[in-house]
Amino acid sequence: MRVLGIDPGSRITGYGIIEKVGNRLVHVDNGAIYTDSHKEFALRLHRIFEGLCRVIAEYRPDAMAVEQVFLAHNAQSALKLGQARGAAIVAGVNAGLTVSEYTAMQVKQAVVGYGHARKEQVQQMVKSLLNLPEIAQADASDALAVAVCHANSAGMKSILRSIR
């Protein structure tokens, strides 16, 4: 199973692609989509959407996982962040992907084993789990963590669905 993890942001949207092969997690790629804060916000959302559409077309993931972000410095920031998440989700749905959402606490629990882990602990564990030569750029590392969370949670979700 190939998973595209997304760490949404209106300035920087991180992405990370991993593949689950048996019990192993394999790093495929990661990066970030940068938007120009001087441009019209609608154009920035379009850049996020188009950038993720290109990533999806190139790597053909089986699923997309997006972090649910609730922290914002003010209402305007929260609205912009929500719109960036929406652009990312629509890119996935538009490509026919199943999109799952995880809270920061769920991601930390799945990656580190502790829901209140520090960002540095998560980044170090992502590096270790995926055998990366160095810690990825912050937004890309967060996206890889979301992908790892989904890869580790997807099996459990399907088991729960089958017993309902």
Residue positions annotated with a catalytic role = 7, 67, 139
Q: Is 7 annotated as a binding residue?
A: yes
Q: Are 122 and 111 in contact (CB under 8 A)?
A: yes
Q: Is 67 annotated as a binding residue?
A: yes
What HEC string does 46-101 produce? HHHHHHHHHHHHHHCCCEEEEEECCCCCCHHHHHHHHHHHHHHHHHHHHCCCEEEE
CA–CA distance, 71 with 78 (Å, rounded to integer): 7
- What backbone torsions phi and psi does residue 11 show, to the nearest 5 degrees? -100, -45
Q: Is 142 annotated as a binding residue?
A: no
Tell me if residue 149 falls in helix, strand or coil. helix
Q: Which residues are annotated as a binding site for Mg(2+)?
A: 7, 67, 139
